[in-house]
Structure 1
């Protein structure tokens, strides 16, 4: 499950949105609200699909039913396609910056936060909570990783207690990249802003390759499991 967990951890949009939240006027309250929303999205989806897979009793069958392999196949194809899209988009930004001939061109070519995230500075904790929840639950890549985690736990030959704690560890690991900056800002306050600005710049310029590679690994692993079952 490590690649699937890393697929949740390496979520550039979620981390860039968090940085914007932590640079807002209500940084501490909004950061905590965003973290709670992210935890609810991650934990809620894992719990929901664990319940669904338990109802169809995939764990009690010697051979997983056909729909399990088809689900892995569809999610694997989606994640491989997402990896190609993320990589090509990042490469396009780099090529655009390389071709820039003026400071204005460089600024225009630089990866920016989506336009709607620029309003985060005025958010109150309630809206920020919904932002954290929505960025996980409505992000097809993160949601796919949660479904795959629940499926792997359900298919594992472990008891209910071990499955529960495995799910808890998965949620905790997935929340670490959100929780760590929030706790840092809660502890440091305004002194944390220079570091947050550097983190945002680094994410904008570098994570497309890492994220694309991780999505590709997860997708290929799921395709391998699906094809191994189907063939």
Structure 2
């Protein structure tokens, strides 16, 4: 159990510090009806993370990753591909993040946030007028369709499936992973729900900090996670 938790810590941090999700959240919390939209976005993010984890926790046993005591060849190959993708993503996140730091720090409306974050979909320019239903879909889509966050969830499900913990303990570990991955979205949303307009000064400070630091932290985490996956893949293949 302890070894599994240690393996999952960097993967969980990769979800926690997702710049795409946090920048979209900032836009949502600056929109009209920020409380309802914030709750809808939080619910969507939770459903995306929990749903993807549940899918692969079901799928990997069906694919018999424990067949004859050793994972089949496709398991290290998946780790190899995911590791290469995450290392490349780390380089991309770092280079792109530096370009938009000042523009993001100066953003004061949802439109400004989206303009400072070209990786966000263009239709987010209309986030000011989003209703909760559409914001819910945004939360789900930004996790499930974001290859970095989705890769972290898949890695977590694979590590849990390959571990020696019993199925009940694996479910608890997966639930803890989902809770930790949801916290960076939940805490700002709860704060806005409680404080309303009084939350704006803190949101401005958080946005400024995110603009200046998140891309560096996220790039470093992606690099670490990618390197760990490459190490596991090569150890199994060689």
Which residue of the partner structure matches residue 188 of structure 2? 181
2:96 is the counterpart of 1:89: yes
How much has 1:90 moved relative to structure 2?
Answer: 2.5
2:55 is the counterpart of 1:55: no
2:195 is the counterpart of 1:191: no
How much has 1:117 moved relative to structure 2?
Answer: 2.6
> Structure 1-normalised TM-score?
0.90
CA displacement 1:192-224 (0-9 Å, x = unmatched): 011112211221222111110000000000000
CA displacement 1:130-178 (0-9 Å, x = unmatched): 0000000000000000100000000000111001001000000000000
Which residue of the partner structure matches residue 101 of structure 1? none
Which residue of the partner structure matches residue 31 of structure 2? 24
Point out 4+ residue stretches in structure 1 off by more than 2 angstroms: 90-94, 113-118
Task: Indicate which of 105, 114, 117 corresponds to 1:113.
Answer: 117
2:65 is the counterpart of 1:75: no
Instruction: Give the distance between the partners of 2:68 and 2:77, measured in 1 at CA.
Output: 16
Which one is further off, 205-214 or 171-180? 205-214
Aligned residues of 1:14 and 1:135 also touching (Cα < 8 A): yes
Which residue of the partner structure matches residue 217 of structure 2? 210
Aligned residues of 2:91 and 2:219 also touching (Cα < 8 A): yes
Which residue of the partner structure matches residue 103 of structure 1? none
Aligned residues of 1:87 and 1:209 also touching (Cα < 8 A): yes
Superposition RMSD in Å: 1.7
Which residue of the partner structure matches residue 122 of structure 1? 129
Which one is further off, 53-62 or 169-178? 53-62
How much has 1:93 moved relative to structure 2?
Answer: 4.3
Instruction: Give the distance between the partners of 1:9 and 1:120, measured in 2 at CA.
Output: 23
Instruction: Give the distance between the partners of 1:92 and 1:21, measured in 2 at CA.
Output: 23
2:144 is the counterpart of 1:137: yes
Which one is further off, 117-126 or 39-48? 117-126
Task: Indicate which of 39, 44, 52 corresponds to 2:46.
Answer: 39
Aligned residues of 2:90 and 2:218 also touching (Cα < 8 A): yes
Task: Indicate which of 45, 65, 73 corresponds to 2:72.
Answer: 65
Number of residue pairs matched by the alignment: 218
Secondary structure of the residue that 2:66 maps to in structure 1? helix
Gaps of 5+ in 1: 98-107
